[in-house]
């Protein structure tokens, strides 16, 4: 009997719940938990079968432990905030339950994300006999699998990777973020970073940009950023010479972001307001549209993929592996926009592969460490069809 506990009832949590509920042959019992119980209930009534809902403060390991012991899941799918990764991993260690997330840990008081905190759990997870699967969303997640798939089927050696995330959708708001505003803005305003010739190179935030002609979308300006999958892929792609991450932004979005930065609204340190400490970015999060509310009016498509160059049988080769997702189609299916969909579906796929034994191990792993074929097969079956475009 497979029981899964989904922690997080935002846009991504809703997609994971929908997709798990539609696969009763694997996900026999489901519990959806959040700090806000009403969010769980709103999602539950949309599902094709009953699930359990619960309130949990995921910042508090003892609270998560109590819920795990009550529901007795085989796997915890964590799709709440990256701040909570370690608290939930500690709860899984205490209870001997497998763990999966979609984004690596970020300390709340510093805009910095890297895998060192979670990789440090490898030995403890291995000794406990449980598995932790890190970064199983789209980027990171599916993009890591694209690289592993390319290495297995198209290349003897990969030399360069450019991971490119394009959202050409329109939601009708002057300014909104597609996932948690606090996490999104912290990520975008960091210094850029990429790996080349054995070392990390830093750039000023959003200072490096270029145009790319995205299939089914057209030319869009994309900006170099740092993203966590770079850190793990550097370790797991032999022969790699350079890897970068790019994301597209409209000029309207960048103008709003620049103004917010200039007036101090993106600060993550508290300021005193009427005698009380207030973090400006947390206040901004409270007044911006909730990402899960964007779906009904979202139109347009996303294109997320990996532009990969290397050699095959001594000859240079270049491919683009990508997925195109339609915002309106996602909303019709699971009441979510495409950014939530492209993150939630891979989380469900990773959970499926863990529960069915296709991806198994003791310790903590990144997705590119496993056979990419079953994941790629499920993407086509579960709503994220992919394309391989040979460019050389």
Q: What is the pLDDT of residues 225-240, one digit of tens each?
A: 999 999 999 999 989 9
d(CA 82, CA 211): 31
CA 146: distance to chain centroid?
15
pLDDT value at 375 more than 80 = yes
Q: Is residue 47 a contact partner of residue 17, using CB atoms and an 8 Å limit? A: yes
If one counts every other C-beta atom within 10 angstroms of the C-beta of residue 30, the result is 25
pLDDT digits (tens, 9 = 90+) for 34-59: 999 999 999 999 999 999 999 999 99
Domains of the chain: 3-134 (3.40.50.720), 142-337+386-390 (3.30.360.10)
What single-letter DSSP state applies at residue 96? T
Q: What is the model's pLDDT at position 270?
A: 86
**Range of lowest pLDDT (28-37, 108-117, 133-142, 146-155):** 108-117
pLDDT value at 217 more than 70 = yes
Query: Taking the model in full, what pTM does it have?
Result: 0.94
Q: Is residue 16 a contact partner of residue 79, using CB atoms and an 8 Å limit? A: yes
| Residue in the block written with tokens 């080349």 | 196
Q: Is residue 379 a contact partner of residue 346, using CB atoms and an 8 Å limit? A: yes
State the Cα angle at 194 between 102 and 325, rounded to 5°.
45
Q: Encoding tokens for residue 39?
A: 């969010």
Task: List, in sequence order, every residue forming a beta bridge with 316; answer none if it has no partner.
Answer: 311
CA 207: distance to chain centroid?
24
């Amino acid at each position: 009997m497979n029981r899964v506990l989904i922690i997080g009832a935002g846009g991504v949590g809703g997609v994971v719940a929908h997709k798990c509920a539609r696969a009763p042959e694997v996900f026999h019992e489901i519990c959806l938990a959040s700090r806000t119980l009403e969010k769980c209930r709103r999602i539950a009534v949309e599902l094709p079968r009953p699930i359990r809902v619960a309130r949990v403060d995921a910042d508090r390991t003892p609270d998560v432990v109590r819920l795990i012991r009550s529901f007795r899941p085989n796997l915890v799918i964590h799709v709440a905030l990256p701040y909570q990764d370690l608290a939930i991993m500690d709860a899984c260690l205490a209870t001997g339950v497998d763990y999966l997330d979609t984004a690596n840990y970020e300390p709340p008081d510093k805009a910095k994300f890297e895998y060192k905190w979670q990789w440090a759990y490898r030995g403890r997870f291995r000794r406990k006999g449980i598995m932790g699967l890190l970064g199983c969303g789209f980027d990171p997640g599916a993009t890591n699998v694209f690289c592993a798939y390319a290495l297995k089927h198209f290349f003897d050696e990969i030399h360069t990777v450019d991971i490119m995330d394009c959202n050409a959708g329109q939601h009708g708001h002057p300014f909104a973020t597609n996932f948690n505003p606090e996490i999104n803005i912290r990520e975008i305003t960091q210094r850029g970073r990429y790996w080349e010739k054995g070392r990390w190179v830093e750039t000023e935030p959003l200072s490096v940009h270029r145009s790319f002609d995205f299939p089914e979308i057209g030319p869009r300006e994309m900006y170099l950023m740092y993203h966590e999958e770079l850190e793990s892929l550097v370790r797991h792609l032999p022969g790699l010479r350079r890897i970068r991450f790019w994301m597209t932004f409209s000029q309207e979005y960048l103008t709003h972001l620049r103004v917010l930065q200039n007036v101090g609204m993106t600060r993550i340190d508290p300021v005193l307001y009427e005698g009380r400490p207030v973090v400006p970015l947390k206040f901004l999060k409270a007044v911006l549209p909730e990402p899960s509310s964007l779906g009904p009016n979202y139109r347009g498509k996303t294109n997320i993929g990996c532009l990969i160059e290397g050699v095959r049988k001594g000859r240079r080769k270049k491919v683009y592996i990508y997925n195109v997702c339609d915002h309106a189609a996602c909303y019709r299916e699971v009441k979510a926009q495409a950014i939530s969909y492209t993150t939630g579906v891979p989380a469900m796929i990773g959970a499926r592969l863990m529960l069915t034994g296709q991806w198994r191990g003791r310790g903590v792993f990144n997705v590119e460490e496993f056979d990419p074929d079953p994941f790629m097969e499920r993407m086509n079956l579960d709503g994220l069809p992919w394309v391989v475009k040979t460019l050389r």
